[in-house]
Amino acid sequence: MIIILKENANTRQVENLTNWLKQRGFDLHMSVGSTQSLIGLIGDTSKLDIDLLTSLDVVDTVRRIQEPYKSANRKFHPADTVIDVAGKAKIGGGNFMMIAGPCSVETHDQIISVAQSVKASGAHVLRGGAFKPRTSPYSFQGLHGKGIDLLEEAREASGLPIITEIMDINHLPLFENVDIIQVGARNMQNFELLKELGQTKKPILLKRGLANTIEELLMSAEYIMAGGNENVSLCERAIRTVETAPRNTLDLSAIPVLHKHTHLPVVIDPSHATGINELVAPMALAAVAAGADGLIIEVHNDPPHALCDGKQSLTPEQFDDLAKKIRAILPYGFRKEEWA
């Protein structure tokens, strides 16, 4: 960490600062210029409050050299994290995980049917929303506890472990038998929720917020890991930009950036990212080519006379076709192990 002092900073205040830093065990390197001086800080700065330092009267700016996250940092944990899901599926360290299922759990027949078909196509985990974050209070909000019951029935019928989204700490008891708990984009910085999830041992899938940086995503993972739960996967699901042709802009460069900085697995959600059925397959293949550890894809069955087709959902047939293509391209994807 480098602390750049203000021009003509008050000498006594600078002394107060350097003493305070030395007491906290840092080695200091002073670099005194004709107008401006710097302090180089050597030591573990990840737990130092950068806002506090920045707010000091004598400080112009503070620049981190090291990342502010520790548990999630590949520097301190070089080997890939491998997460085991209920003994039935694995992600990370070369294990590719395909998650598929409907946006919302609707009925018993729907979820059983989708579960069985995505299983047959090669999916490893079943997704389905029971609690749905909706912009409007007047939109369908999900089946809640009943939705989780139906997911458990679908697990029994298909053998697939299940993942579903949590929106409130108080619902945690309902998630006792859920295999992976998803934290949605809007809750990425719901820090109280993250802390609570840190107390469980459940695998967590943490989605990146719509305007959050990759570093902030890692800091949110750090909230969960700091509580003792290291089973965190990170999910890129697109950020808001000036482009509106697809719903949001899928940031696939997040895959190699995350792989460089963290040992946690990286999952891509091409369905919510693009919001358009036709873009799911090309973006899924691109994610695999860039080295993603997993995909989460919306698949919806299509009973006759159904009003709702899920514009971003694939039909079971489309998913089956895509799953084959994914398996075909998987051996040719980028392998981070080849980085020098």
Name which of residues 258 to 297 contact its own copies (CB under 8 A): 260, 273-274, 278-279, 281-283, 285-291
Tell the residue number behind the tokens 């139906």, with chain if given.
150
Strand partners for 297: 100
Nearest CB to its own copies, comparing residues 95 and 189: 189
Q: Point out which span in 93-101, 119-127, 146-154, 220-228 binds its own copies (CB under 8 A).
A: 220-228
Q: Is 82 exposed, middle or buried (0-12, 13-18, 19+ CB in 10 A)?
A: middle
Map residues 101-120 to x or -, x wherever contact with its own copies holds by CB under 8 A: --------------------
**Under rule CB under 8 A, residue 230 binds its own copies:** no
| Amino acid at site 107 | T
**Under rule CB under 8 A, residue 76 binds its own copies:** no
Shortest distance, position 87 Cβ to its own copies, whole Å:
30
Nearest CB to its own copies, comparing residues 1 and 83: 1
Q: Which of 10, 15, 24, 42 binds its own copies (CB under 8 A)?
A: 42
The continuous run of DSSP H or E covering 255 comes out as: helix 254-261
Q: Which of 149, 152, 153, 215 binds its own copies (CB under 8 A)?
A: 215
Asked whether the CA dihedral 125, 129, 134, 139 is positive or negative, the reply is positive
Nearest CB to its own copies, comparing residues 88 and 311: 311
Q: Angle at CA 125, nearest 5°, toward 119 and 126? A: 80
**Under rule CB under 8 A, residue 181 binds its own copies:** no
Nearest CB to its own copies, comparing residues 39 and 85: 39
DSSP 111-149: HHHHHHHHHHHT-SEEE-BSS---SSTTS----THHHHH
**Under rule CB under 8 A, residue 122 binds its own copies:** no
Shortest distance, position 94 Cβ to its own copies, whole Å:
16
Contact (CB, 8 A) for 188 and 205? no
Q: Which of 11, 23, 78, 170 binds its own copies (CB under 8 A)?
A: 170
Contact set for its own copies, span 128-157 (CB under 8 A): 133-140
What residues contact residue 281 under an 8 Å CB cut-off, 6+ apart?
314, 318, 322, 325
Shortest distance, position 5 Cβ to its own copies, whole Å:
10
Nearest CB to its own copies, comparing residues 178 and 266: 266
What residues contact residue 170 under an 8 Å CB cut-off, 6+ apart?
none
φ and ψ of 222, to 5 deg: -60, -35
Residue 287: C-alpha distances to residues 212, 268, 295 (Å): 20, 7, 8
| Amino acid at site 131 | F
Tell me how far the alpha carbon of residue 14 is from its chain's centroid. 40
Q: Which of 189, 200, 202, 320 binds its own copies (CB under 8 A)?
A: 189
Q: Angle at CA 115, nearest 5°, toward 208 and 187? A: 20
Q: Point out which span in 118-126, 148-156, 174-182, 251-259 binds its own copies (CB under 8 A).
A: 251-259
Nearest CB to its own copies, comparing residues 36 and 153: 36
**Under rule CB under 8 A, residue 19 binds its own copies:** no
**Under rule CB under 8 A, residue 22 binds its own copies:** no
Nearest CB to its own copies, comparing residues 120 and 211: 211
Q: How far apart are CA 331 and CA 94, in angstroms?
A: 11
Nearest CB to its own copies, comparing residues 85 and 299: 299
